[in-house]
């Protein structure tokens, strides 16, 4: 029996945990995390980035997801969704470690 996943990140337990914990962070920490995630755009194809901007325009402040209310966080999460699985996982691990250490300000770009 295959398990169905409701959200795009539910199929990776590390990514799921990172985003669930991120949802509970303060606005300041969410901003630091969003900046880190947005730095992933160098690892995502330009045509995908254009599609992300279209999605951002469509769902900003009107979607039902926790990150739809903040345009920067929406952009960051959509970039993360479009990133290669390896990059998603590395970003999630970095986010988890930074949140565990209460140090989201120290996040740096991922170098694969």
Would 4 be classed as within a structural domain?
A: no
What confidence tens digit (pLDDT) does each residue in 64-93 have?
Answer: 888 888 888 888 888 888 888 888 998 899
**For residue 72, what pLDDT is reported?**
85
Would 25 be classed as within a structural domain?
A: yes
**For residue 21, what pLDDT is reported?**
92
Would 57 be classed as within a structural domain?
A: yes
- By CB atoms closer than 10 A (0-12, 13-18, 19+), residue 76 is buried
If one counts the domains in the chain, the total is: 1
Give the C-alpha separation, 21 to 100, whole Å: 10
Domain that holds residue 70: 13-104
E strand or H helix at 105: none
- CB 15, CB 9: distance < 8 Å: yes
pLDDT(107) > 70: no
Residues 6+ apart with CB under 8 A from 70: 30, 34
Cα 16 from chain centroid (whole Å): 10
Average pLDDT over residues 5-21: 89
Average pLDDT over residues 97-102: 83
pTM of the model: 0.68
| Lowest pLDDT segment from 11-25, 40-54, 74-88 | 40-54
Would 52 be classed as within a structural domain?
A: yes
Show the tokens assigned to 71.
């345009």
Would 110 be classed as within a structural domain?
A: no
**For residue 61, what pLDDT is reported?**
67
Would 46 be classed as within a structural domain?
A: yes
């Amino acid at each position: 029996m295959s398990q169905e996943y409701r959200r795009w990140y539910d199929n990776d337990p590390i990514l799921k945990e990172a985003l669930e914990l991120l949802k509970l962070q303060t606005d300041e920490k969410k901003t630091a995390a969003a900046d880190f995630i947005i730095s992933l755009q160098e690892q995502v194809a330009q045509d995908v980035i254009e599609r992300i901007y279209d999605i951002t325009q469509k769902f900003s402040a009107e979607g039902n997801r926790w990150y739809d209310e903040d345009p920067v966080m929406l952009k960051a999460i959509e970039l993360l969704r479009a990133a290669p699985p390896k990059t998603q996982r590395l970003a999630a691990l970095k986010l988890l470690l930074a949140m565990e250490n209460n140090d989201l300000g120290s996040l740096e770009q991922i170098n694969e």
